[in-house]
Amino acid sequence: MNWLAGAQAADGGFGDDYTVVEGTDPSLTAYVVHGVRSLQATETQSVISGCERYIATSQRSSGAWSAWFEAVDSIEGTAAALRVLMASKDDHSSAIKKGLEYLDNTSDLQDLENWIIVTLTYVAVGRAKT
């Protein structure tokens, strides 16, 4: 866990050489949280908190987030970010509301690839619980 904490950027996010943008990326950061949350270790909480902070502050004015493979507003990146914020113990209701509005206004389920639909399903389940 120390390695992961050491690899986390000062802004709380994660990046790699394969993302479209330089530096940290919201969707890649969300994927780290999805994996780390499955670990039952107290050390993971500081990594997760940093990721949640980064994701909440990297939301665009449109309500969307980018994804590692595209620098524009992204349905996939937004859904991945929402999965993290909706599972958070902290209050991210404003960011969640804006993100859900973005998805409601832009998602055409007939035109999405299966892996994006799976991510949106997680968001829908979380939305039903709120």
**Reported confidence tier of residue 56, pLDDT bands at 50, 70, 90:** very high
**Reported confidence tier of residue 116, pLDDT bands at 50, 70, 90:** low
Distance, in Å, from the CA atom of 17 to the CA atom of 14, rounded to the nearest integer, reads 11
Whose structure tokens read 């409601």? 104
What the block records as the tokens of 124 is: 């829908």
User: Class of the 2-129 domain?
Assistant: mainly alpha
Whose structure tokens read 């004015």? 61
What the block records as the tokens of 86 is: 């909706």
What is the predicted pLDDT for the residue at 58? 93
Give pTM, 2 decimals. Answer: 0.74
Condensed to tens digits (0 to 9), the pLDDT of residues 20-36 reads: 778 888 888 888 888 88
